[in-house]
Amino acid sequence: MRTPFVDRRTVLRGIGATIALPWLDAMAPRGLVTRAAMAAGAATSAPPVRVAYLFFPNGVNVNAWAPAVGESTWSAAGSLEPLAPFHGRISMHVGLAHANAAALGDGPGDHARSAACFLTGAHPRKTAGDDIRAGQSVDQAIAEALEGQGRRTRLRSLELGSEPAMTAGNCDSGYSCAYSANISWKSERLPNGKETDPRAAFDRVFGRRGETPEEAAARARSRRSILDGAVAQAGRLAATVGTQDRARLEEYLDGVRSLERRLDEDASAHLDRGTRLPDFDDAPRSLAGRIDLLGEVLALAFRTDSTRVATLMLANEGSNRPYPEIGVSMGHHDASHHGGAADKMEAFARINRFQSERLAAFLRALERVTEDGRPVLDSTIVLYGGAINDGNRHNHDDLPILVAGGQAAGVSGGRLVRSAPGTPLCNLHVGIARAAGVPLDRFGDSTGVVEPG
């Protein structure tokens, strides 16, 4: 019996949420009789390319960051050792720079400039007032182009981070906090706010709106699922599709519920004795747990095609957070200004390793989630890095940059990609955009194209 066609835009309705479906064979175009039509159908049904930008602040301990880099190879050692399982799917880039993160006559403020410049390639206006100006970031340029191509998703883009977004105040030598706390800029004067709470990010992906803090707390305690009310719809749909589609649907819904359950447990563990979920500053979760849950929400957002462009800040630029969970009691920024002191250098290297572990966790989340028989990691290009190299020197050349995933988009892994010293990082931004199907001619201060891998 021939299975009915299922529209790609079909959704399930849960408890105040919209649950997108994964890709199913029943969504493939029907009646394709010519080779050209079959090819077009295959292209239509192929998983879309996604792009994720992961940012870490304060540079690296250059002695420990990548000690096993040769003339044409690199090995996952030192701070990058946690990435060893993914070595064949990661390319390391050397020689790239952000000239517009330098002072250029503006004096101190390298931290603010590095975050503001990371995805924009622009030199931010030095101001602590509301007259901020940087440039549109490449993630937003890609999102805008995808909309223009008719490839709309429910969320234009998704911005996440472990520390709050700020838009006012003086955070770095006369630079607004908006620069240090945001890497995604919708326009040169408008940074995108970011979501820091994993449960709130999950609710945004699934369209939940309008809950009061009291209702959110009650739901977390009762373990009510967004899938409540959608399971019956899923069962009716499963009865009409093929065996493989039924298995995909079951696996997908199990994954949604599993993540939701862990998010509820995380929230419940930090409920106060009242009826409200505590605010960010009153809910000191494990930082690793917070970032990893945000990464899993992002992987699920890609899996449901809720968005195709995202950013994740492991911390705000200039962050001086200590890392007691890895035995580092001094602040991150303080450790980065080590001045050659052995104890600070060791602490700094441990923080860099912790950051690499978070990247590895995100790559595992993308690898676990599959579509059409392939890991979502294959269709996702992940850029990981920052716009400061040596945290002690604040230099903006030879930046620490990795590119992971994207094999379905023609990106190769396991390579060391050398660019001429001083090559703009924006050349790589152009290369990634093109691999994602957005044919940028130039971006920021680009002078050409660097292929992602």
* Top-confidence residue, 360 or 11: 360
Tokens of 50: 């996604």
Tokens of 23: 């890709």
The chain-wide mean pLDDT, for the chain, equals: 87
| Alpha-carbon radius of gyration of the chain | 22
* Model pLDDT for residues 417-432, shown as the tens digit of each residue: 999 999 999 999 999 9
CA distance 410 to 353: 29
Whole-prediction pTM = 0.90
What is the pLDDT confidence band of residue 294, given thresholds at 50, 70 and 90?
A: very high
Please report, for residues 85, 186, 328, 393, the alpha-carbon distance to residue 74 in angstroms, rounded to integers and kept in the order given. Answer: 14, 35, 28, 24
* Top-confidence residue, 86 or 274: 86
* Model pLDDT for residues 306-354, shown as the tens digit of each residue: 999 999 999 999 999 999 999 999 999 999 999 999 999 999 999 999 9
Q: What is the pLDDT of residue 7?
A: 73
Alpha-carbon torsion (41, 42, 47, 53), positive or negative? negative
Please report, for residues 285, 316, 335, 342, 442, the alpha-carbon distance to residue 348 in angstroms, rounded to integers and kept in the order given. Answer: 22, 16, 5, 10, 35
Residue with tokens 């090559």: 423
Q: What is the pLDDT of residue 280?
A: 42
CA distance 145 to 130: 28
Please report, for residues 25, 32, 41, the alpha-carbon distance to residue 36 in angstroms, rounded to integers and kept in the order given. Answer: 19, 9, 9
CA distance 136 to 433: 14
Domain boundaries, the chain: 11-435
Q: Is 374 helix (H, G, I), strand (E, B) or coil?
A: strand
Please report, for residues 137, 203, 367, the alpha-carbon distance to residue 120 in angstroms, rounded to integers and kept in the order given. Answer: 4, 29, 29
The values of phi and psi at residue 359, to 5°, are -65, -45
The answer to whether the beta carbons of residues 370 and 247 sit under 8 Å apart is: no
* Model pLDDT for residues 4-40, shown as the tens digit of each residue: 677 766 778 777 777 777 777 777 665 543 444 334 3
Most confident listed range (89-98, 196-205, 208-217, 255-264): 89-98
